[in-house]
Amino acid sequence: MDNRNVLVVGGTGCGKSVLCNVLTGTDEFKEGNYTVSETQNIQIRSFDWKKIKYSVADTVGIGNINLTTKEVLSSIIEKINSMSEGISQVLLVTDGRFLKEEIEIYDFLKEIFKGGFVTIVRTKFASFQNKDECEKDIKAMLDVNKKIAKIVKSCKVIHVDNPPIDIKAYENNSDDDEDVVTINRINGKSRNKSREKLLSHLEQVCQDDKLKMGKKFSFSKIVKIIKKN
């Protein structure tokens, strides 16, 4: 069975862990409803799809209040180096705002990953099934500034929407129960459609010649990468 390793990166609170749950079809990645990162350590889960084994690695978000940028990037490097078979695709998760932390991640990634290995996953996009709306959103990102335009042009972009499926009714208010069940069911369908779209995308873009880092990065090297960009 062919093995494909997928690395998921992004800023704190951008929806990385939710994306990992959707992609793997599990609830093993801790999802947070707040801007504080729920992912404190790198997690990996595997699943089979169309006779291919995918291993999905969720990383600590840049902007984590408990870790410096250097420490987060260092943990990502450590995980890349530990995947002896190499990386088939990197998913850079953003909600479309492209925060400073997400730009830092991109600047870091472009130094070690050649073209074709990075996909921008635009999360929280309700019209993700509408091709015209997705194209309009890409154009809007291109128009923000030259830096972000350069990032978007250098990567493939895929839109998804992964709303929560664990919404709870107000305490002791049974009148809300039916509405909450309906909302969770609708959100679950959206997540399933997102998963189908993600898997179809990975089937097309995952590299046969998996990328291996091949070189070690020190803290000082990480700082230089960020500063020069």
In this predicted model, what pLDDT tens digit does every residue of 34-90 receive, in sequence order?
444 454 567 889 999 999 999 998 888 777 667 777 777 777 777 777 777 788 899
Q: What is the dihedral of CA 109, 115, 117, 118, to 10 degrees?
A: 60
Neighbours of 9 (CB within 10 A): 26
Burial class (CB in 10 A: 0-12, 13-18, 19+), 131: exposed
CA dist 70 and 76 (Å) reads 10
Q: Which of 193, 72, 198, 97 is nearest to 152 (CA)?
A: 97
Q: Mind listing the pLDDT tens digit for each residue in 124-152?
A: 999 999 999 999 999 999 999 999 999 99
Helix (H, G, I), strand (E, B) or coil at 58: strand
The CATH fold assigned to 3-227 is: Rossmann fold (3.40.50)
Neighbours of 144 (CB within 10 A): 14
Beta-strand relationship, 2-10 and 89-94: parallel
Neighbours of 219 (CB within 10 A): 12
Q: Which token pair is 99?
A: 């925060």
Burial class (CB in 10 A: 0-12, 13-18, 19+), 114: exposed
Q: Greater confidence, 213 or 5?
A: 5
The pTM assigned to this predicted structure is 0.85
Q: Which residues pair with 36 in a beta bridge?
A: none
Q: Is the pLDDT of residue 162 over 90?
A: yes
What are the domain boundaries of the chain? 3-227
Q: What is the DSSP letter of 100?
A: H
